[in-house]
Structure 1
Amino acid sequence: MRLASYNVENLFDRARAMNLKSLSQGKPILERFAELNALLAQPSYSAADKTRMAKLVIELDLEKSDVGDFVILRRNRGGLIKRPKSGGVQIVASGRADWVGSLELRDEPVDEQAMRNTARVMRDVEADVLGVVEVESRPVLRDFNADVVAAFGGEAFRHAMVIDGNDTRGIDVGLLTRQGFPIGALRSHVDEMLTERDPIFSRDCAEFEVTAPSGARMLLMLNHFKSKGFGSQQSSNAKRRAQAKRVAEIYDERVAMGIKNIVVMGDFNDTPDSEPLSPLIEGTDLKDIFLHPKFDDGGFPGTYGSCAADNKIDFILLSPALFDKVTSGGVFRKGMWPGARAKRWEAYPEVARKEDAASDHAAIWVDIDL
């Protein structure tokens, strides 16, 4: 069987702030959105909270309207803000119970050529079991699989599953499997908390049980850890470490239950030698497929961007029982932008511009004799 992991960076729609040409443009918008959302969720608003909230509302282009370029403020009932004719914003609610509504990011369609190239990657990697990262929802994954992948000559996957996670941007983790690889028991960890209002997992550590045609069962744990792009380095590192530590604990719990065939995979947003990932990489007996003698990295050690060693952030970690059954593995980069001049790897002819890339991530795969 072939197992693969791929960060698709959304299939049909993506938050407009995440579609900007550079991270430096989108980062402040997403950080203000997250801060305002956290403040709005509080049971009561202090005077300092109201001052800060009003400032954030203006900075998010919501001073004159509930619809900004990147954010929408939905107010269904109750009073939250007033907009005086003289300008500015006043927060009139005393707490979350005073109003009903939400703060949402505005979406826009993914570039059409990029969408087609994503379908090509999902077709050409030829996985029996494909873990996907940054997918909008199960209906989106189902429709993309049935309509777009099939339109490019790919065989549609038989099963598609996504458990809605904690991220408000619509970037969840999900699973596609072929006929003969049914998805069995599911388990979510979205509501495990670091503090009362801070979940451990930015998205989820979703567990899926998959049965191979041979009858052998395999437990897959899909993850998308906290990125380095938003928040301080210290807080981001601490979050990723907490996530890695909890995944390691869950892995150990499953091993203690007698489960031998376990996969932990996804986008961990850090490198194998990083301190935040050490509880998972160094603290368990899981083995990185990049270290298998039959794995071919295609001449580049990384999986993201330029694919340098410091961009090795996508993982398939296998329990010893599965690692011993590996027959081959590799990195599929044809959907990535290879560079404008000295092209680093072979890409699809349709990747004519950086914007045409299916994703900034490569798909990684491994063949297992299961």
Structure 2
Amino acid sequence: MPDIRLATFNCENLMMRCDFARSGLANARSRLTNVDDALIAEQVDAVFDVLSEDDRTLTAQALVATHAEVCALQEVENLVTLTAFDNRYVSRWAGRPFGERVLHEGNDSRGIDVGLLSSLPIVFQRSHARATFGRLGIHPPRGTSVNDYVFRRDCLEVDIEKDGRQLTLFICHFKSMHGGRKRTVAVREAEAQAVRRVISQRFQNPAEAEWVILGDFNDYWEVDGRPARPHGLGPLVGDGFAVDLASRAIANPYERWTHHYSGDDTYGALDHIFLSPRLAALNPAASVEIVRAGSPYRAERYDGIRFPGVGWVTPKASDHCPMVTTLKFEGRLAAP
């Protein structure tokens, strides 16, 4: 069986602008939205501003520290931004870029999307950003209709190939808790139901198929081992449809956190890697690593070594920590 080193990371507002003014082309800063613009900017040595140079350097360091072959990303502006980040920042620390990149424009009003970086071949990709409650047969939460899009960003479906075998990933970024966790939980629950429906449509027997759901789900069912209800992830974990890898692999509940909210000093597990029952059975001893070296110093629970340049609030790699695991999979045979 091949194995795959797989990570998920919310990069926190990975956005890019190109300062053509500083390159002498025009007296304006342009939002790069297509590859042609990016190529022009490269040719004239235009100045790329990916938020803070220090932040983006730390983001790349945290990502490279996972040693992942494939990384699901959240909060990326567009494919041009993802490409520039891979070429200009990741390659600086890894020695080479991932090379394979996937991103489809989603539904977020701020323009933050889910994406994928991979050093392995991507043989299939599909966005579910345009899936509606009606099309998926999901009851819409209050304030929405059957014609509204289910996913606040997207559910990105990708098949990765290694050693002639294919594994399917579903990359998500659920509705934030902005407006209150309890007031927004129904939206995340609907998204979880939709992910389950998408998987059930793809695989005739999901429990016996091999797939991974991963990303930032903006919700948790426990904080430091104490139940935290209500939560919106029941459709994924409530009846064993999927297995939360961190809950199984990290015995100490105080060590499962991937995000620190300074407002009430909560250390929560917002980021998850969910395995199909079949894949979980193939990996009974799979471990999970959470890279916290890019966390700001105000996340005081972490007392390990940090990357040079990390500050109390900023600079930092992100407000989330990347999570990584190595999984064995049998997968599906690639087409000849």
**Amino acid aligned to 1:209:** D
The 5 A counterparts of 1:120-131 are 120-131=61-72
SS of the residue corresponding to residue 305 of structure 1 reads: strand
What's the offset of the Cα at 1:223? 0.5
**Amino acid aligned to 1:300:** E
What's the offset of the Cα at 1:10? 2.5
- Aligned equivalents of 2:15 and 2:93: distance in 1? 16
The 5 A counterparts of 1:73-112 are 109-112=50-53
Aligned residue in 1 for 2:166 = 217
SS of the residue corresponding to residue 287 of structure 2 reads: strand
What is the identity percentage for the equivalent residue pairs of Structure 1 and Structure 2?
A: 31
Query: Do 2:5 and 2:70's aligned partners in 1 also have CA atoms closer than 8 Å?
Result: yes
| Aligned alpha-carbon RMSD (Å) | 2.6
- 2:293 is the alignment partner of 1:339: no
Query: Do 1:338 and 1:346's aligned partners in 2 also have CA atoms closer than 8 Å?
Result: no
- Identify the range of structure 1 (269-278 vs 182-191) with the bigger mean alpha-carbon deviation: 269-278
Aligned residue in 1 for 2:234 = 278
Aligned residue in 1 for 2:93 = 152
What's the offset of the Cα at 1:110? 1.6
Q: TM-score, normalised by structure 2?
A: 0.73
Question: Please, which runs of 5 or more residues in structure 1 have no aligned partner?
Answer: 15-107
Aligned residue in 2 for 1:70 = none
- Aligned equivalents of 1:225 and 1:341: distance in 2? 27
Query: Do 1:304 and 1:362's aligned partners in 2 also have CA atoms closer than 8 Å?
Result: yes
The 5 A counterparts of 1:40-55 are none
Aligned residue in 2 for 1:183 = 122
Aligned residue in 2 for 1:240 = 188
SS of the residue corresponding to residue 149 of structure 1 reads: helix
What's the offset of the Cα at 1:236? 1.5
Aligned residue in 1 for 2:45 = none
SS of the residue corresponding to residue 203 of structure 2 reads: helix
Aligned pair count? 272
The 5 A counterparts of 1:1-370 are 1-13=4-16, 109-178=50-119, 181-194=120-133, 195=145, 198-212=148-162, 214-229=163-178, 231=179, 233=181, 235-256=183-204, 260-272=209-221, 274-293=230-249, 295=250, 300-305=255-260, 311-326=268-283, 327-339=286-298, 344-370=303-329
Q: Deviations 1:39-73 (Å, cap 9, x if unpaired)?
A: xxxxxxxxxxxxxxxxxxxxxxxxxxxxxxxxxxx
SS of the residue corresponding to residue 356 of structure 1 reads: coil
Query: Do 1:271 and 1:310's aligned partners in 2 also have CA atoms closer than 8 Å?
Result: no
Q: TM-score, normalised by structure 1?
A: 0.67
Query: Do 1:115 and 1:358's aligned partners in 2 also have CA atoms closer than 8 Å?
Result: yes
Aligned residue in 2 for 1:86 = none
Task: Answer with 1 or 2: which has the greater Rg.
Answer: 1
Q: Deviations 1:3-55 (Å, cap 9, x if unpaired)?
A: 000000133449xxxxxxxxxxxxxxxxxxxxxxxxxxxxxxxxxxxxxxxxx
Query: Do 1:116 and 1:148's aligned partners in 2 also have CA atoms closer than 8 Å?
Result: yes
- Aligned equivalents of 1:126 and 1:279: distance in 2? 31
**Amino acid aligned to 2:115:** G
Where relative contact order (Cα < 8 A, 6+ residues apart) is larger, the structure is 2
